[in-house]
Structure 1
Amino acid sequence: MAKAIMLQGTGSDVGKTVLVAGLCRAAMRRGIRVAPFKPQNMSNNAAVAAHPDGGSGEIGRAQWLQALACGIRPTVDMNPVLLKPQSDIGAQVVVHGRVAGEAGARDYQNLKGRLLGAVMESWSRLSAGADLIVVEGAGSPAEINLRDRDIANMGFATKADVPVVLVGDIDRGGVIAAIAGTHLVLPEADRDMIAGFLINKFRGDLSLFDDGLAAITRFTGWRSFGVVPWLREAALLPSEDSVVLDRLARGGDKALKVAVPMLPRIANFDDLDPLKAEPEVEVIFVPPGSRLPSDALLVVIPGSKATIADLASFRALGWADDLAAHVARGGYVVGLCGGYQMLGTSVADPHRIEGGGGRVDGLRLLDIETVLESEKTVGEADGFSLAFDAAVHGYEIHLGRTGGADCARPLVEIGGRPDGAISGNGRIMGTYLHGLFGSTAFRRAFLARLGVEGGAFDHRRKVEEALDAIAEHLERSIDVDGLLAVAR
C-alpha cells in the first residue's frame, strides 16, 4: 500500500489544488510513483478519466491536472465522488465516474455515510498501484457542523490514517487567525492528525512574516513546512473552483476581445484557457449584472450544468438582446456544449433531466434543435475540422442529442461522426467538443479567420512547463523532504 499525505485548507480557494499538483510533479521528478486523490469534489469543471470496467467516467478537472503532474493516466478512482451543482441547493451526484442520481443539500448529508464505502474502495485500488498518494481536501475541516458525516476532510483522514498539512492563504488576510482558529475548533482526534502547516500566496519580503510563523506555532504547536510565494505560473493551469471567475472579469487592450458570459451554472470554463494565453487575445468573463461588451468581436457561450435554467437567466440578464446586437454588428459566436444547445431554436427535456420538463425556445442563432437525454456521453475525442482544415482533440461530457439543418455544416468530425453546426454566414458555430481551443492548429486557423495572428504555442506543453516551474518553486521555498517524510 502507498504512503500518503493530505493537504487541507483553512477555506476554499487557498490554493490546495495547485500545491497538490506541484508536490505531485516534485515527487515524480524524484522517481516516485505518485498519484493524486480527492475523496469528494464539488465542481462543474469535469474531465474524462478511465473507469475500472474499461470505459470512461468523469472526475474533477483538478484531479485530471494532478494526474498530468504525476505523468499518469487519470482514473475515476482519483475522485470517487463528484458533485455537479445544478441549483443553489441541489447537485448531480457522480460516483466512480458515473451518474448515481441527484440530491439536495440536506439529502446529500444523509447520503455521505453510504458514499464513504465508494471512497475507500477507490482508495484501496489507487493505493495498490503507487508509492505515494497526495490527497486534496475540500473546503475546510473547521466546518465542524458537518463533521459527523464528513468524507472530504478529517472524516477521510482519520478513516484512512493519513497525516494532514493545513494550508492557509496569506493573500486574503487573517491567515494567523485562520490557522489558529482551525486548531481551536477541531476536536482533539482531528487536531492530532495535523502534522504541520503551509502558508500560501505570499508576496513581498518573507522575513517580515517570521514572527507570524512563530506565532502560529506558539498557538497550535504545529510545525511550519514553509511559505509558498505567489505562483504566477498557476494562471496557466486549469481552474476548478468557480470562485476564480470574479478575477477573470478584467481585461486589457489587445487585438481581439472575447466576451464570455458567466452563466449561473457555468461548466468547464477552462475551455477558454488557451485563448487567455494568447498574447493578442483578451478574454473577459462577464458577470451577471454587466452587459456583453459591444467592442468584443467574439462571444463564447461556455458549457452549462443546467442548460434550460441558464438559458432563462441569459435572457433575464439582458444578454440575449446584447448577443442579437453583437450578431447584427457582424460579430462571431461560438457555443460549447451547453452553450451550443442554447444557440438553437429549441431545447426539449422530455425525461425531466433538469427537473421541469417541456420545451423552451433557444436563442435561434443556429437552425438546430436539442433533446436532453438520460444517457450521458463521456469520452476522449480525436477528430478533424473541415471548416478550419485542422486536427482537433478534446473530450465530450454531455446529455443531449442535437440535429437540424445547420448540422449539415458540422464544426468538427469526431471519429468520422459529424458534430456541431455552423450558420450559413459562417459566423455562428457550436460543438459538443470540450478542449477545442487547446488544439493548436485549430486555434491558429480560427484566430486567423478573425484577423488575429496566434496559435504559435502548444497549450498542453505550456501547462507541463508551468507544472515543472511550480515544482521548482516548491523545492526552493518549502521543506519538500520534510513533507514527504511525514507521509505514512
Structure 2
Amino acid sequence: MTARVLMVQGCTSDAGKSTVVAALCRWLRRRGVRVAPFKPQNMALNSAVTVDGGEIGRAQAAQAQAAGVEPHTDFNPVLLKPNTDVGAQVIVHGRAVGNMDARDYHAYKRIAMDAVLSSHARLSTQYDVIVVEGAGSPAEINLRDRDIANMGYAEAVDCPVVLVADIDRGGVFAHLVGTLALLSPSERARVRGFIVNRFRGDIALLQPGLDWLEQETGKPVLGVLPYLHGLHVEAEDALPRVRQNKAGDVLRVAVPAFPRISNHTDFDALQAHPGVELSWAGPGQAMPACDLIVLPGSKSTRADLAWLRQQGHDRAIARHLRYGGKVLGICGGFQMLGNFVDDPHGLEGAPGSSEGLGWLAVSTTLETEKQLRRVAGVLAESGAAVTGYEIHCGVTKGIDPATAFCILEDGRPDGARSADGQVMGTYLHGVFDRPEALAALLEWAGWRGTEHVDIDGLREQSFDRLADSIDAHLDTDLLTQWMGLNG
C-alpha cells in the first residue's frame, strides 16, 4: 500500500496552513481514513515530545491529535529551533545533530532531504493519506535551490498542491496570482487549486473576484473558509495578537516575551480561562501589575536572562514579591530563578556562566544530551494530578523531594519551591493543561473562583469545528478527487 498525498502550501507565513492541515486530518479521520500529518521542515521554538522519544514541532503534534494518532518523529523529520538571528539547532528524526548557521544548513540540505524522504516512505506504508504542510511560501525564490520544505519536496514525491491565502490580511488575489507567477512551470502545474482562508463578510461581494481568479489562472477555488472565532488550536510560533481584557474579578498573569521564548503554548489554558487575564511584556514594555508572573521556556536561557535584566524585569519581579505576588518558572524560566546557569560547552551561545535571579536554591549546567520525556505525576503541595513533557539540556542540582514542585510517577522530584511558598519552578511544559493542576496552581496564585477549563477538551471541540467547516465550505468532491479517494 502507498498512501495518497496532498500538500498544503501558503502564500505567506501564518496564512493558516497548520490549521487547514489539522482541519483536513480531523475531516478525514471522521470519514474513517487513516491519515497522518507531515511537515518536511519546520522552523519553530514550540516543540513536543513524541511517542518514540524524539522532538517535533507542536503544530504537527496538534495535527496528530486531530488525526487521532500519537505524535511521531516521522511527522516532522527536520526541525529548526532558532537560537540566534542567523543560526539554529538542527533536529533530525527527533534528535539534535548540532547548531548551524544559514550557510552551513544550506549545504546540509542534501542530507536533510534524505531524512525527509525516508520518513515519507515509512508513513506511506502505514497510512491511507498523508496531509503535508509546507513552510513559509513556495515563492521565496532565494530559497528554491535545494528546497526541502515546499516544492522541492512536492516534486520529489510527485504530489498535488493546494495554495492557501489569508484574506484577512488583504491582497488575497495578489498573493495567489503572484505566488503562481514566481513558480517554475512544473511547480505551477502541480498546484491544483486554491483555498481562501479567514473570510468574514458577504460571500456574494467576493464572488466576482473568485470568478476572475479561476478565469485568470485556469485553476479552481476549492472554497472559502470563514474566520472562526474562539478556536483553541496551538499556534505554530507567533505569540497571540490580541491583548485580553476580561471583565469582572480576574487573576492577572504577566509573562515576559523573551526574544527566544519557547513553547508559549504552555499558556493556552490560561488564555482560555474566563477568570484569568494574561498579558505579555514585550521589548520596552514594563511588567504590568499582576498577581502571578510566569517566566516561560527559552531556547537561549542565558541570553534571555540578560534581556530580562536589560528590561528591568528582575527589579519588577523583586518588587512584585515584596508585595506578596507569586512567581512561577517553566523550563528555562525555572533555570533563571536559580543561583547560576552554566553553559560550559557553548550549547546556546558563547561558553560561560550567568548569575541567576536567586529566588530558588538550585543551579543548572547545560549538558550536551537533551532530556526528552513525556511525564505524569502529582503536585507536591496539593496532590493534584499533573502531566507534561520535558525538553531541556539543563541538569539542575539542588532539587529536593521535600521542596520539589511535583513528584513524578517514576519517583523523581521535579522543580523547586521557595521556603516562603511565593516562588516555584518546574521543567514540565504543559503544566497548566490538566484541569486539576490548573485549578491548584491558580488557587496558589490567589484565584478564588469556581470556573474550570479543560484545554484538551477545547482543542478537540476546535478540531471538530474545523472539520465541520471543511464540509460546509469546501468542494469535498473535488477534495477527495485530489486525494485519490473517489476511486
In structure 1, the partner of 2:476 is 480
In structure 2, the partner of 1:323 is 317
Q: CA deviation at 1:65?
A: 0.4
Q: CA deviation at 1:92?
A: 0.2
1:48 aligns with 2:43: no
1:240 aligns with 2:236: yes
1:279 aligns with 2:280: no
In structure 1, the partner of 2:6 is 5
SS at match of 1:282: strand
Runs of 4+ in structure 1 deviating by more than 3 angstroms, as ranges, are 248-254, 405-408
In structure 2, the partner of 1:25 is 26
Distance 1:474 1:284 in 2: 33
In structure 1, the partner of 2:59 is 62
Q: CA deviation at 1:407?
A: 6.6
Identity over aligned pairs, percent = 48
Q: CA deviation at 1:384?
A: 1.0
- Per-residue CA deviations over 1:222-260 (Å, capped at 9, x if unaligned) read 1100000001243x1111222x44x04443345111111
SS at match of 2:225: strand
1:460 aligns with 2:444: no
| TM-score, length of structure 1 as denominator length | 0.96
Distance 1:345 1:18 in 2: 41
In structure 1, the partner of 2:341 is 347
Distance 1:318 1:219 in 2: 55
The code of the aligned residue for 1:437 comes to F
The code of the aligned residue for 2:257 comes to M
Distance 1:278 1:457 in 2: 6
Note if contact 1:348-1:360 (Cα within 8 Å) is conserved in structure 2. yes
CA 1:11–1:304 in 2, change beyond 3 Å: closer, same or farther?
same
Note if contact 2:134-2:149 (Cα within 8 Å) is conserved in structure 1. yes
More moved, 306-315 vs 439-448: 439-448
Distance 1:262 1:139 in 2: 23
Distance 1:391 1:454 in 2: 18
In structure 2, the partner of 1:440 is 435
Note if contact 2:38-2:131 (Cα within 8 Å) is conserved in structure 1. yes
Distance 1:339 1:413 in 2: 19
SS at match of 1:209: helix
Distance 1:480 1:301 in 2: 45
SS at match of 1:353: coil
1:107 to 104, 107, 110: 104
Distance 2:399 2:117 in 1: 49
1:184 to 173, 181, 185: 181
Q: CA deviation at 1:427?
A: 1.1
More moved, 358-367 vs 95-104: 358-367
1:116 aligns with 2:116: no
Distance 2:312 2:242 in 1: 20
CA 1:121–1:87 in 2, change beyond 3 Å: closer, same or farther?
same
Distance 1:69 1:108 in 2: 31
1:199 to 189, 196, 200: 196
| TM-score, length of structure 2 as denominator length | 0.96
Q: 1:283-302 to 2 correspondence within 5 Å? A: 283-294=278-289, 296-302=290-296
More moved, 473-482 vs 64-73: 473-482
1:268 aligns with 2:263: yes
Report the count of equivalent residues.
480
In structure 1, the partner of 2:421 is 426
CA 1:271–1:238 in 2, change beyond 3 Å: closer, same or farther?
same
SS at match of 2:382: coil
CA RMSD across the alignment: 1.3
- Per-residue CA deviations over 1:446-474 (Å, capped at 9, x if unaligned) read 22231332562322111111111111112
In structure 2, the partner of 1:314 is 308
SS at match of 1:232: coil
Note if contact 2:272-2:453 (Cα within 8 Å) is conserved in structure 1. no
Distance 2:280 2:102 in 1: 28
Q: CA deviation at 1:387?
A: 1.0
In structure 1, the partner of 2:226 is 229
1:127 to 105, 124, 129: 124
- Per-residue CA deviations over 1:185-210 (Å, capped at 9, x if unaligned) read 11101101100000000011111100
Distance 1:9 1:220 in 2: 17
CA 1:220–1:390 in 2, change beyond 3 Å: closer, same or farther?
same
SS at match of 1:388: coil
Note if contact 2:260-2:300 (Cα within 8 Å) is conserved in structure 1. yes
- Per-residue CA deviations over 1:131-177 (Å, capped at 9, x if unaligned) read 01100000000001111110000000010011000000000000110
The code of the aligned residue for 2:268 comes to D
Q: CA deviation at 1:367?
A: 1.6
Distance 1:46 1:248 in 2: 23
Note if contact 1:411-1:419 (Cα within 8 Å) is conserved in structure 2. yes
Distance 1:451 1:44 in 2: 30
The code of the aligned residue for 1:2 comes to A
The code of the aligned residue for 2:114 comes to G
Structure 2: 5+ residue stretches without partners: none
SS at match of 1:122: helix
SS at match of 1:360: strand
Note if contact 1:259-1:298 (Cα within 8 Å) is conserved in structure 2. yes
In structure 2, the partner of 1:336 is 330
- Per-residue CA deviations over 1:298-318 (Å, capped at 9, x if unaligned) read 011110001011001111112
SS at match of 2:63: helix
Q: CA deviation at 1:178?
A: 0.6
Note if contact 1:13-1:241 (Cα within 8 Å) is conserved in structure 2. no
Note if contact 2:294-2:328 (Cα within 8 Å) is conserved in structure 1. yes
Q: CA deviation at 1:352?
A: 1.6
The code of the aligned residue for 2:263 comes to N
Note if contact 2:299-2:348 (Cα within 8 Å) is conserved in structure 1. no
Q: CA deviation at 1:215?
A: 2.0
Distance 2:257 2:124 in 1: 38
The code of the aligned residue for 1:102 comes to N
CA 1:21–1:349 in 2, change beyond 3 Å: closer, same or farther?
same
Distance 1:446 1:50 in 2: 27
1:161 aligns with 2:158: yes
1:85 aligns with 2:82: yes
Q: CA deviation at 1:401?
A: 1.1
Distance 2:47 2:450 in 1: 27
